[in-house]
Amino acid sequence: MDTEKTKKNSTTSFWYDIIEVCAISVVIVLLIFTFVARLSTVEGNSMNNTLQNGDRLVVSNLFYTPKTGDIVVFQQSDGYFKEPLIKRVIAVGGQTLKIDFNNWAVYVDGVKLDETYVKRELAADMNRENFYTYYGAVLDENGVLTIPEGYVFVMGDNRNASSDSRFAGVGLVSESDIMGKAVFRLFPFSKIGTVE
């Protein structure tokens, strides 16, 4: 009889342990996605070929300070777009940016960036006319801008299909509007891995 009672207590204890482990796991996951990371979905083609429409990303903001080359997710409360945007940081506060639209070249503090990730259109320039005539460029007439402290200049990798800091509707992005850096691609499964 004692053996039967011991078995019953052991089974009950086992199930309590399972429930406790599951509850703790759920709380940990919720804390991680609240304070450390979040999920974001790529919408549109502005980051082709690096990211594709529908890609699911893990975005981290833990102790994050933006730097050139990072892919970030941001949401501007007073911007033209109300949904979060995903772009690459090109220059940060205090740096001077120069864009040579004709030759697809970007310079930060006089140094040409090695942008192997950029999707180029061989028979076209980097849409200078669009950004100066139609969209209200934030750059001066020579394609130059010094980024103020606390802001970043972002562009999509698909340069001729991206609404980004070249466009006055987006303009410079406040660091406080950055939700985090894209660190990992969860979907599609064929491309799962870190984001470069």
Instruction: Report the C-alpha gap between 106 and 78 in whole angstroms.
Output: 27
Tell me how far CA of residue 164 lies from CA of 2, 63, 83, 147, 170, in angstroms. Answer: 73, 25, 13, 15, 6
The tokens describing 8, both together, are: 């019953």
Say how many C-beta atoms besides its own lie within 10 A of residue 118's C-beta: 18
Q: What is the DSSP letter of 10?
A: H
Burial class of 124 by CB neighbour count within 10 A (0 to 12, 13 to 18, 19+)? exposed
Q: How far apart are CA 99 and CA 120, in angstroms?
A: 14
- Would residue 46 show up in a list of annotated catalytic residues for this protein? yes
HSE-CB for 29 with a 13 A CA cutoff: 7
Question: Per residue in 4-34, is it b (16+ CB within 10 Å) or e — as a string?
Answer: eeeeeeeeeeeeeeeeeeeeeeeeeeeeeee
Q: Which of 46, 162, 163, 165 is catalytic?
A: 46
Query: Which residue out of 87, 98, 163, 181 is catalytically annotated?
Result: 87
User: Quick check: is 87 catalytic?
Assistant: yes
The catalytic residue positions are 46, 87
